[in-house]
């Protein structure tokens, strides 16, 4: 199981934030600069920008990742742990406290993180060299396979519920009590400053505090009450990672996933189709027939080689004090009366759980109908749940927000053959429909979505009944047998439900309702897919639309807007088989390095790395507490003889094969993500390098692992770039790669940190620039033939020359009065020439293929590489265009 594109972006955002932390020392300053560079400075008067860092838990970095329901928060967290621990010294214990809101979610989390066949555990095993142990609180209280030596050698994950930290119940108070089973940790303490007052040093809470753990707060938006700062501080965390669909007001968000990203990856059944009926009977009737239609489509899909789906209806009943079970049983009896087999119906309430032990995803499972109120809100998941049918009183606003998220997950995380199997449905009968819709919006918001993610239709109201005359009222009172009572709208009239297990829906009024629902669904799926296509062509980061008015946007200058909006810059496209989903009508897909690296195998490459040039000194950035109330990194020069890995001698005493695997694991931890190169490929390559070293060389490797790792990363990247360039040239030679117009200037710009105002800029303000970049653009913009210039943005915001380099973003785009587009890349004379040479070759190839109206210049201050120019020569040439 690999990360989805948006999940990779989340991990990249985390890596970027940690780089800012290392660069700016203080976490608060790093957070503020991180967002200023993305969306601009914070303005407390307008509310634009990200508000400053909140020091929620003094002594720990506290950050939040916003991911909608079904976005894979747990899998993101598993990958994030490796990224976080790379920011700490290798010798720091890799201890994690994983907090969950409910006991049933705790059991589920422990099971998934412990199961060697589960994708979560498999990812953790890959990232942490199969040295992973997952504990529940009871395991730790008994000291089961839990001691200082074990903790030092593995990733230790302690899964706890929020309630465990409150110590209200007797069993929870054990965390704070003396525990002889944990005495080894007390003996191991060198510093006792972590001990809580009036708490024995052997208490589990003090053991956890001694580990200075990373704390993962999972599903915090579903917590029954807020986790207090005191409870979190009780853990003495070094780092707090909060994953939630709805961050709290004081959350320090570093990454947010827009809902459309989940739809693009087929993670969710959106939009939600909402249909309001006249009464409960119609709701039940529509639910039964819609389920039947969906199941028929699912069977056809399965017959044609698709995945198995058995659509399920969730009947949400109105709670009644003292009558709950009777209400559910009564609904069940009514469904049975319609001929639905007993085994297809289950009740799930606070007091009655017929789903226990049932695998709803199994092909052998018969369940199609589940009756509940809101018991499904806590940690229950079944992607087969398609229809939420609310049977609340007609006079009520339907309270659906608690369980709406249960029908949002997409089966098998894939697009299904029929549009109706790619959306979810809410059926209601409420006179207060507008209030019901607000509750649906709340439910979507609680799951990280918005009001854009549902569509609704309200059935026409019934004609008003004529008022009774006084005589009619008297007649009803004295002759009741002649005036039968009108059925209570609260009751379900099974006589009005035309349902059969074996026959299709007859042509009645109810089929008209189903037809309307299905037409809405098909239309909305088409509109959503069109929105996705338009969004993919847009040059605006999704996160900007997610943040709304918090983002400072700048307009094109009126003098240049009309001209700029006509410009479409070419990018490279690769010819693809005609059966693919195309980005262009010609059957060509936008090129990227990942495509060019298909077939790349590190196992085929040489392992010659120039280690001789490694300096005897190294610098490591460590995260630690610099002040009482802040968490900061500091740069510390480390002399070679001072470096002593606590387990270095232990590793070197092992057989050579084990040495290679153990040291290789440490190197993999430092290398991090080298996407799109597979982790396993990198791991095998690193072990090949290590296997050729002597014991003394491996000892030196351990003492200077950061410098060695940098060399290995550069070697791998150079090999990948060389392979990609060779493939690019081959495909170019045979005409498989072409340049075609594709990229347009965005109407508004979100530059983030602002550069100095320089005349003739395309937008009202442009992005920040280095000293050499700013001095260069001042020179070029002053040329009489230059109409306007633009500071090209990076990280997906601006124009990229896509090719054998992983997206080359030139620094500037110039437009001349003669109609030429000039891409300008500026380089200080101290830049790494190997990378610059490759970018220069790519840029010049782009200009050649783009056509006569395009030029590319790489400009150095004075010393130019082959194919590039110094500043004076470039100015002379551009001035003639």
Taking each continuous run of H as one helix and of E as one strand, the counts in the chain are: 28, 26
φ/ψ (deg, to 5) at 480: -60, -30
Q: Are 805 and 721 in contact (CB under 8 A)?
A: yes
**Is residue 638 classed exposed, middle or buried when 0-12, 13-18 and 19+ CB atoms within 10 A define those classes?**
middle
CATH 2.40.160 for domain 54-257, yes or no, is no
3-state SS class at 438:
helix
Beta bridge partners of 161: 100
pLDDT in tens, 398-447: 666 667 777 888 898 888 989 999 998 988 887 776 676 677 666 666 66
Distances (CA, A) of 806 to 573, 574, 679, 745: 15, 15, 18, 21
pTM of the model: 0.75
DSSP 602-652: GGGS-----GGG--S-EEEEEEEEEETTEEEEEEEEE-GGG---TTHHHHH
Tell me, what's the pLDDT at 509?
Answer: 45
pLDDT in tens, 620-635: 445 554 444 454 444 3
Q: Which residues of the chain have pLDDT under 70?
A: 166-172, 220-227, 318-326, 374-380, 393-402, 433-434, 436-437, 440-448, 450-452, 454, 459-491, 502-511, 535-549, 577-587, 613-650, 829-833
Q: Measure the CA–CA gap between 25 and 277, rounded to whole angstroms.
A: 59
Tell me, what's the pLDDT at 586?
Answer: 47
Q: Are 550 and 292 in contact (CB under 8 A)?
A: no
Q: Measure the CA–CA gap between 360 and 236, rounded to whole angstroms.
A: 41
Beta bridge partners of 96: 157, 214
Tell me, what's the pLDDT at 39?
Answer: 85
Q: Measure the CA–CA gap between 591 and 845, rounded to whole angstroms.
A: 14
Q: Measure the CA–CA gap between 589 and 586, rounded to whole angstroms.
A: 9
Tell me, what's the pLDDT at 637?
Answer: 40
Tell me, what's the pLDDT at 460?
Answer: 44
Q: Are 37 and 754 in contact (CB under 8 A)?
A: no
Tell me, what's the pLDDT at 476?
Answer: 55
Delimit the domains of the chain by residue range. Answer: 54-257, 262-532, 553-573+735-878, 602-622+638-726
Cα–Cα nearest to 335, from 325, 346, 348, 324: 346
Tell me, what's the pLDDT at 122?
Answer: 93
What CATH number is given for 553-573+735-878 in this structure? 3.40.1350
Peptide bond preceding 676 in cis form (omega within 30 of 0): yes
């Amino acid at each position: 199981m690999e990360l989805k594109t948006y999940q990779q972006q989340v991990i990249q955002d985390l890596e970027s934030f940690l780089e800012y932390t290392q660069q700016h020392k203080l976490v608060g300053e790093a957070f503020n600069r991180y967002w200023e560079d993305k969306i601009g400075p914070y303005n407390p008067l307008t509310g634009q920008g990200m508000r400053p860092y909140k020091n929620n838990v003094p002594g720990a970095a506290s950050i939040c990742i916003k991911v909608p329901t079904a976005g894979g928060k747990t899998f993101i967290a598993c990958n994030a742990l490796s990224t976080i621990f790379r920011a700490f010294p290798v010798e720091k214990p890799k201890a994690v406290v994983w907090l969950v809101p409910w006991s049933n979610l705790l059991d589920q989390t422990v099971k998934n993180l412990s199961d060697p066949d589960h994708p979560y555990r498999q990812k953790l095993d890959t990232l942490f060299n199969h040295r992973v142990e997952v504990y529940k609180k009871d395991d730790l209280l008994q000291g089961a396979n839990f001691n200082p030596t074990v903790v030092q050698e593995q990733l230790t994950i302690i899964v706890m519920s929020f309630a465990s930290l409150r110590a209200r119940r007797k069993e929870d108070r054990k965390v704070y009590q003396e525990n002889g089973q944990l005495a080894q940790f007390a003996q191991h303490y060198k510093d006792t400053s972590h001990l809580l007052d009036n708490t024995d040093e052997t208490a589990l809470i003090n053991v956890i505090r001694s580990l200075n753990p990373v704390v993962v707060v999972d599903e915090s938006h579903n917590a029954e009450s807020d986790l207090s700062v005191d409870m979190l501080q009780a853990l003495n965390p070094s780092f707090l990672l909060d994953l939630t669909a709805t961050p709290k007001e004081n959350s320090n968000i570093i990454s947010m996933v827009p809902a459309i990203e989940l739809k693009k990856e087929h993670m969710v059944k959106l939009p939600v189709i909402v249909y309001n009926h006249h009464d409960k009977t119609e709701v039940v009737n529509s639910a039964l027939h819609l389920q039947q239609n969906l199941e028929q489509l699912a069977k056809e899909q399965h017959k044609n080689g698709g995945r198995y789906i058995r659509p399920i209806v969730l009947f949400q009943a109105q709670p009644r004090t003292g009558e709950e079970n009777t209400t559910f049983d009564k609904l069940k009896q009514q469904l049975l009366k319609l001929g639905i087999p007993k085994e297809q119906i289950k009740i799930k309430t606070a007091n009655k759980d017929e789903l226990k032990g049932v695998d709803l995803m199994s092909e052998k499972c018969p369940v199609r109908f589940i009756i509940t109120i809101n018991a499904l809100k806590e940690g229950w998941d079944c992607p087969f749940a398609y229809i939420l049918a609310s049977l609340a009183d007609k006079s009520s606003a339907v309270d659906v927000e608690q369980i709406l998220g249960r029908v949002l997950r997409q089966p098998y995380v894939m697009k299904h053959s029929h549009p109706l199997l790619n959306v979810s449905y809410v059926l209601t009968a409420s006179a207060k429909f507008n209030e019901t819709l607000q509750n649906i919006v709340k439910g979507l918001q609680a799951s990280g979505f918005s009001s854009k993610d549902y569509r609704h239709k309200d059935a026409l109201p019934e004609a008003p009944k004529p008022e009774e005359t006084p005589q009619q009222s008297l007649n009803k009172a004295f002759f009741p047998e002649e005036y039968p009572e009108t059925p209570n709208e609260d009751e379900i009239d099974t006589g009005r439900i035309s349902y059969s297990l074996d026959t299709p829906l007859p042509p009645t009024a109810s089929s008209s309702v189903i037809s309307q629902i299905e037409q809405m669904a098909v239309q909305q799926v088409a509109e959503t897919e069109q929105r996705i296509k338009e969004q993919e062509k847009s040059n605006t980061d999704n996160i900007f639309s997610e943040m709304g008015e918090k983002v400072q946007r700048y307009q094109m200058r009126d003098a240049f807007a009309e001209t700029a909006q006509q410009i479409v810059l070419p990018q490279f496209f690769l010819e693809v088989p005609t059966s693919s989903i195309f980005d262009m009508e010609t059957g060509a897909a936008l090129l990227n390095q990942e495509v060019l690296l298909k077939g790349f195998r590190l196992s085929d490459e040489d392992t010659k790395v120039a280690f001789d040039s490694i300096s005897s000194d190294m610098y490591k950035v460590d995260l630690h507490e610099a002040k009482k109330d802040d968490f900061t990194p500091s740069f510390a020069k480390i002399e070679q003889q001072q470096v002593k890995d606590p387990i270095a001698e232990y590793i070197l005493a092992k057989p050579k094969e084990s040495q290679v695997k153990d040291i290789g694991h440490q190197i993999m931890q430092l290398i991090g993500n080298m996407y799109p190169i597979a982790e396993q490929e990198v791991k095998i390559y690193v072990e090949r390098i290590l296997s050729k070293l002597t014991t003394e060389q491996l000892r030196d490797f351990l003492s200077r692992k950061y410098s060695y790792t940098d060399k290995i990363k550069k070697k791998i990247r150079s090999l990948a770039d060389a392979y990609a360039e060779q493939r690019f040239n081959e495909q170019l030679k045979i005409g498989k790669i072409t340049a075609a117009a594709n990229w347009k200037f965005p109407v508004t710009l979100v530059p983030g940190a602002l550069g100095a105002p320089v005349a003739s800029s395309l937008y009202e303000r442009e992005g920040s620039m280095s000293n050499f970049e700013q001095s260069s653009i001042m020179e070029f913009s002053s040329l009489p033939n230059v109409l306007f210039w633009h500071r090209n943005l990076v990280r997906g915001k601006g124009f990229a020359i896509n090719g054998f380099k992983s997206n080359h973003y030139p620094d500037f785009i110039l437009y001349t009065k003669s109609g030429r587009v000039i891409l300008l890349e500026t380089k200080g004379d101290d830049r790494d020439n190997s990378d610059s040479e490759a970018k220069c070759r790519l840029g010049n190839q782009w200009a050649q293929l783009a056509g006569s109206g395009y030029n590319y210049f790489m400009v150095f201050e004075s010393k130019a590489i082959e194919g590039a120019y110094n500043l004076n020569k470039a100015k002379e040439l551009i001035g003639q265009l």
